[in-house]
Amino acid sequence: MDLKFTPQEHAFQQEVRQFLAAKLPPHIVEATANNSSVFVEKEIALEWQAILVEQGWAVPQWPVEHGGVQWTPAQKYIFSKECYLAGAPMLIPLGLLMLAPVIMAFGSEEQKTEFLPKILSGEHYWCQGYSEPGAGSDLASLKLKAEPDGDDYIVNGSKIWTTHAHLADHIFCLVRTDSSGKPQHGISFLLIDMNTPGVSVAPILTMAGDHEVNQVFFDNVRVPKKNRIGQENQGWNYAKYLLEFERGGGFSAPRIKHELQRLYSLVARARHSIADFDASGEIARRIARLEIDLKALEITELRILSAVSGGGNPGPESSILKLNSTRLEQQINELSVDVLGYEGLPMNPIEGGSPNRPDFISSVVPRYLNNRAASIFGGSQEVQRNIIAKMVLGL
Ligand SMILES: Cc1cc2nc3c(=O)[nH]c(=O)nc-3n(C[C@H](O)[C@H](O)[C@H](O)COP(=O)(O)OP(=O)(O)OC[C@H]3O[C@@H](n4cnc5c(N)ncnc54)[C@H](O)[C@@H]3O)c2cc1C
């Protein structure tokens, strides 16, 4: 695989840069820089999504017939990298990059027509109802019950750790429609309107002080059977397909590169103000290690994503990407806090909140705390290792 850009790709890079210079508003850049959560504020993400939709560049990953762009993997990579380097936020992937591929692959024509345009326009804001109080890593043991009643299901039970459920108007849920066989059998994939009577949401606050996750309760919630994706009791297959996109459907190296740039500015700031900063060279060594690991991740991402550029799914290799991108990002967070040193203390949200500084420095500690969760969400690091051992290495 040739990792050097062609003249056409350089021209494309210029086109993207010009677009970003003209269309990326400074308040979105500022909100992104100061954000310490997994996702930026809903309003900010949707504003940026609308600008990209107008340009026709919101979903380069989607097939053209649904509103995607016919770009090569290199173009997709360039676009992603330039967006992060310019300070643009990540679009919220729940609908766009997780649910949409499932609807495209397994949904009915009616579901494609109904849901895909609303996901793209931002009219529908989705959350993910997979985990339950007794079903996280062991997802197949989920119990949220959906009992048939004429043309509907009646849904009872609860989901937990549901990111942005308090902001979402729709939830895609794994439900139990049969308990008689193996746990993986008897699961169905259901699309539920959060405004249906019987759905309620309770907040869970994280140690970073954020309200991102929730518990969602379903009390005799009536859901039309036509909102089921694919066949009854076959939801496990669709659920796994979605997880591959959640774990490795995009490029994380450009995002991490941007994180590294923020670390460089912290280091430059420390060098300027502390005479013997990093006298032992330890910080420089840790940065060099991160840069090497990031290069390896970047090449792995390009390799995997160019292999699936024909519209396929990332496959179990996505676990390699999730494992390594999480590790790298957390190492950058840790090193950032180390470089900040005692200056980080008043920014600890547990100790009374982050001072309202006008720059990204105030988000370093909350970001470190928030990103501890990355080794858990989307499937824990241990679970990714199990998948790699079994499905990639065949052990
Ligand atoms: C911030 C955040 C956001 C989230 N957002 C969502 C969301 O939007 N929607 C959603 O459905 N879920 C969401 N989750 C839930 C997430 O997917 C689960 O937390 C995760 O799958 C782990 O499940 P658990 O919390 O039940 O832990 P458990 O499964 O109980 O695991 C506990 C520990 O045991 C280890 N472990 C478990 N099984 C094994 C094994 N077989 N081998 C080795 N080690 C093992 C795990 O690695 C972990 O360290 C979110 C979680 C967090 C923290």
One domain for residues 216 and 273: no
Total domains in the fold of the chain: 3
pLDDT per residue over 214-258, tens digit each? 999 999 999 999 999 999 999 999 999 988 877 766 788 888 998
Q: Which domain holds residue 135?
A: 125-239
Is residue 377 within 6 Å of ligand 1 at its C-beta?
yes
Share of the chain above pLDDT 70, in %: 92
* For the CA of 129, the nearest atom of ligand 1: 11
State mean pLDDT over 192-209: 94
Is residue 99 within 6 Å of ligand 1 at its C-beta?
no
Residue with tokens 């470190």: 368
One domain for residues 303 and 214: no
Q: Ligand 1 centroid vs 311 CA: distance in angstroms?
A: 29
Active site residue 246: yes
CA angle (123 as vertex; 49, 113 as ends), nearest 5: 105
What is the C-alpha separation between 303 and 300, in angstroms, rounded?
5
One domain for residues 255 and 235: no
One domain for residues 179 and 222: yes
Residue with more model confidence, 44 or 65: 44
What is the C-alpha separation between 130 and 142, in angstroms, rounded?
8
Q: Ligand 1 centroid vs 346 CA: distance in angstroms?
A: 30
- The answer to whether residue 358 is domain-embedded is yes
- The answer to whether residue 114 is domain-embedded is no
One domain for residues 260 and 225: no
Q: Report the residue among 38, 42, 99, 131 best suited for mutation to probe ligand 1: largest number of ligand atoms under 8 A from its CB.
A: 131
Last-in-domain residue among 91, 114, 133: 91
pLDDT per residue over 329-384, tens digit each? 999 999 999 998 887 776 655 555 545 554 667 888 888 999 999 999 988 999 99
pLDDT per residue over 79-136, tens digit each? 998 999 999 999 999 999 999 999 999 999 999 999 999 999 999 999 999 999 999 9
CATH number, domain of 144, equals 2.40.110.10
Q: Ligand 1 centroid vs 347 CA: distance in angstroms?
A: 28
Is residue 242 within 6 Å of ligand 1 at its C-beta?
no
What is the C-alpha separation between 343 and 340, in angstroms, rounded?
6
247, 378 contact by CB (below 8 A)? yes
Residue 67 pLDDT grade (very low, low, confident, very high; cuts 50, 70, 90): confident
- The pLDDT assigned to 56 comes to 95
- The answer to whether residue 310 is domain-embedded is yes
Question: How many CB atoms sit inside 10 A of residue 1's CB?
Answer: 9
One domain for residues 143 and 171: yes
- The answer to whether residue 120 is domain-embedded is no
One domain for residues 373 and 320: yes
